[in-house]
Structure 1
Amino acid sequence: MGASASVVQEYFKAVDYWADIADKEDWKLAIWIAGQNDVDLVDRFLEIERSPVGQFEDIFFRFETPYEGSGDEYTEQLWQEYAGWFSEEVEEKYDIIKALRHDGLLKEEYVPDMSVEHTAANLWKEMLRFKACISGLENACFCIYFPLGQERGLSRTEWFKKVLEEGIPQGIRLTTIDMKKNRSVNLDESPAVIYICPKFDMAAALHNRMARSDTGNDLIAPENRFKQQVSAVMDCTQKQDWKLLDKEIRKLLDVAKELKDTNILTSALFIAAEACYAIREYKHSIKYSDDTIREAEKAMDNGEAAGYSYWKMATSMKAAVLTAEKKREEAIALYEGLAEKAIGQKDPYYVMEGYRMCGFLRYEEGQLNQAFEYFLLALAAGSYLSEEIRRNSTFTYAAYLALHTGRQVRAPIDMEVLEGQLQEWLGEDWKQLVEGPAMQQAKARRKSKIFG
């Protein structure tokens, strides 16, 4: 990447690495193997996923307790930290239960049951009990992040090995960071344990940033103020206060303009769009999505690689808002445009997603013939993905709805052809994947951003 490297571009690499595993169902522990210069970037990515502007469906938590060598003591400390999240003494802005009540998402009251044996397996069960009290998380996992901190130099292998042997239930996932040159977790890769070995160019990105302005630890430097302002915007989404959020977004955009970096400005606009969506200020979310799209198109015209990434995310965001507001024709036009652009970019996943959402919206309207045709286009696009991705992504939802609509509007012989094709794309057990009980509730939904 060299001269064109930027911190924002490296961040979106981290997003892509996680996207490669996000829809896989079997893994229980994902370990990032990072170089010294890359740890902060991975940590920042995981922190953003904990915030309302995270991009993935899973709900991320972070345990701050450092590992100090004793597995049993560590597990006990994790239990105490978990209970502390629900303490009456917790700061209001971190009060999970109050936030859930405010948003109408708490189905029943929840208090941690500290009477059970304090094992890791019981902690995951307790977290799943909490998850069951929250509306809209049926298809999401709790992803628990164990940061690399004071435990450097101490082996965490035995603790993670024991946790895996005790069993991690469906709906819980763990992730951590390990140092490339000083490993603290040495486990064999398996369906349950996967490694992410990112290749970042942070040295070049930081060099380019320094070349523009050597700010060091200057707290008033635009680069540092930008980072602080991103956090300020994220914090505002927890307060559901549009006037306050509007003020902080304006500050963010002012600082971004000072940096004279088009990627930074575009990322700031997209953060603004996501933040407005998080507090249901849909009108403003669309405005900032449009601004992001406009800047991203300029970047694409200038041949900047990051331009398309911003464009597809902002277009998806705007389409999601229109979908939420049931403005189906406008949403379909955007999703169709997304699919067409993705074809030019050789991005089969977004071709599939664009056409899948067009099909879903036509299905909602009862236009089954058009819905079926869109689902076929989505499946054709998904056929360019690996079988593993097809089996663990929204490809299976498109397949379910293609069968559901097709059986109502097409001849049986046509459906036999489709079924044969699904067997080729998904394998011999395709019916279990596509027609199982979970698929009966096939719906397209966005992540519920309830934890900050």
Structure 2
Amino acid sequence: MVGELKRLKDLLPFKEENFILYFAPGMHGVGFDAWLSNQLSGSLPNDFRLAAIDVDVKRNLSKLQKHKTARVVELRANLDMANAMRNEMDKDSDSVKPHSPSTKFQKQVRKVMDATIDDDINIKKEAKVLIELGYQLKKLTTKATSHLICAIAFFNIKNKELAFENANKAIDLAEPEIKKSDEAYPIWRSALMIKASLYLVDKKTRPEAISCYEKLVAETAKHGDVFYTMEGYRMLALVNFQSKNMEAAWEHVIFSLQAGTNLPLEVKRASTYLFSASLAKQICDSSYKYRSMDTMLNKQFETEIGTDWDTLLQGTEYLNLKYVNRRKPLKV
């Protein structure tokens, strides 16, 4: 491989530049760890570097450890993204009218979200202030958004009761305005998805979650919102799969994939379309009734996301183990 790369570089008009070959996580198939270790055991030119991501909490490239002191350098990114986002939000707010009600509202949104990770901030108090500011502005967007932000915040700290309360209020405010206001629809959509997620916490309320997702896909289809139509059907498929309702799971995962076909190729290759695809494969593995559809799926994925579809789906394996309760394929 190295020899071929050297010849390629010699053909390019870049004589002084160095080359970095990056292997994304989706490319780490069976044997990649050994292959990469073998490359490092050989002779690499000084102007070539190999790069890969190996997540700290779940190491996959264990064979690199023996090279660590000699040929492998581990880079750890220490990014203070929270403060960076705060600074940008403050800049945007202060550059207009720092003491205007709308600026206060924007800053209060940040304060409520900060309260989800800072025990010294009284989240209920800050949520109340946000809602008051939202209503003072007397606009549907700020009223409904204040409840949506509070629903997200309380969801994050696992306060189910207050999350439900605010999600329902956001839905009640936004739903009547969906046909009149373009701004109402995304607020309603987000609040409904939070409500569905809250129902999913308890197996006993899965039927209520299903009702939420059914309501979601009915509205997203009207708006031509193909991404969230795909998402809604994906969640319907997942919930039914977890409940061992294979017929409904299969129907909904096919609807999800069909909606996803309307997305650009680059979106499909880097979105939850891959999880819908992986779930469809798992349904085929788990049910004799749908096992014969596996070949059809393979052809569809090759058309929709490329000949490397199998490699891309391998990147969903960890989430499948955690959320889909992935089982071993049926034996012939």
Partners in 2 of 1:442 and 1:359 — Cα distance? Answer: 13
Give the structure 2 partner of residue 343 of structure 1.
221
Percent of aligned positions with the same letter in both sequences?
25
Partners in 2 of 1:241 and 1:322 — Cα distance? Answer: 29
Within the candidate set 321, 333, 339, 2:198 is matched to 321
CA distance 1:382–1:444, change in 2 (3 Å) = farther
Within the candidate set 295, 304, 308, 1:429 is matched to 308
Give the structure 1 partner of residue 244 of structure 2.
366
Do the aligned partners of 2:174 and 2:188 also contact (CA within 8 Å) in 1?
yes
Larger Rg: 2
1:126 aligns to 2:76 (yes or no): yes
Give the structure 2 partner of residue 386 of structure 1.
264
Moved over 3 A (4+): 142-148, 239-242
For residue 224 of structure 2, give the secondary structure of its aligned residue in structure 1.
coil
For residue 238 of structure 1, give the secondary structure of its aligned residue in structure 2.
coil
Q: Deviations over 1:130-175 (max 9, x none)?
A: 8xxxxxxxxxxx7969969xxxxxxxxxxxxxxxxxxxxxxxxxxx
Q: Which amino acid aligns with 1:420?
A: K
1:311 aligns to 2:188 (yes or no): yes
Q: Which amino acid aligns with 2:298?
A: E
Aligned-pair distance for 1:401? 1.2
Alignment of 1:268-283 (within 5 A): 268-283=146-161
For residue 420 of structure 1, give the secondary structure of its aligned residue in structure 2.
helix
CA distance 1:144–1:253, change in 2 (3 Å) = closer
Q: Deviations over 1:215-268 (max 9, x none)?
A: 955x4x4334323432332232223589x3222211211121111111111111
For residue 233 of structure 1, give the secondary structure of its aligned residue in structure 2.
helix
Do the aligned partners of 2:108 and 2:130 also contact (CA within 8 Å) in 1?
yes
Partners in 2 of 1:432 and 1:232 — Cα distance? Answer: 42
Alignment of 1:151-162 (within 5 A): none
Partners in 2 of 1:305 and 1:443 — Cα distance? Answer: 38
Q: Which amino acid aligns with 1:417?
A: M
Partners in 2 of 1:322 and 1:241 — Cα distance? Answer: 29
Give the structure 1 partner of residue 162 of structure 2.
284
Do the aligned partners of 1:368 and 1:409 also contact (CA within 8 Å) in 2?
no
Aligned-pair distance for 1:305? 1.1
Partners in 1 of 2:267 and 2:322 — Cα distance? Answer: 18
Do the aligned partners of 1:355 and 1:374 also contact (CA within 8 Å) in 2?
yes
Unaligned 5+ segments in structure 2 are 1-22, 25-56, 59-67, 324-332
Partners in 2 of 1:293 and 1:228 — Cα distance? Answer: 23
Aligned-pair distance for 1:419? 2.1
Partners in 1 of 2:235 and 2:167 — Cα distance? Answer: 18
Partners in 1 of 2:84 and 2:263 — Cα distance? Answer: 32
CA distance 1:410–1:240, change in 2 (3 Å) = farther
Q: Deviations over 1:376-412 (max 9, x none)?
A: 1111111111122111111111111111112324355
Give the structure 2 partner of residue 353 of structure 1.
231
CA distance 1:385–1:228, change in 2 (3 Å) = closer
CA distance 1:239–1:334, change in 2 (3 Å) = same
Give the structure 2 partner of residue 153 of structure 1.
none
Alignment of 1:23-102 (within 5 A): none
In terms of fraction of residues, the more helix-rich structure is 2
Partners in 1 of 2:131 and 2:307 — Cα distance? Answer: 52
Q: Deviations over 1:329-364 (max 9, x none)?
A: 111111121111111110111111001111111111
Q: TM-score, normalised by structure 1?
A: 0.49
Within the candidate set 272, 278, 281, 1:403 is matched to 281
Q: Which amino acid aligns with 2:124?
A: D
Do the aligned partners of 1:351 and 1:378 also contact (CA within 8 Å) in 2?
yes
Considering only aligned residues, what root-mean-square deviation do their CA atoms show, in Å?
3.5
**Which structure has more RCO (C-alpha within 8 Å, separation ≥ 6)?**
1
Q: Deviations over 1:108-149 (max 9, x none)?
A: xxxxxxxx9xxxx97x8234xx8xxxxxxxxxxx7969969x
Q: TM-score, normalised by structure 2?
A: 0.66
Within the candidate set 106, 111, 115, 1:236 is matched to 115
Within the candidate set 178, 181, 188, 1:300 is matched to 178
Within the candidate set 287, 301, 320, 1:442 is matched to 320
Partners in 1 of 2:81 and 2:284 — Cα distance? Answer: 40
Do the aligned partners of 1:269 and 1:292 also contact (CA within 8 Å) in 2?
yes
For residue 320 of structure 1, give the secondary structure of its aligned residue in structure 2.
helix
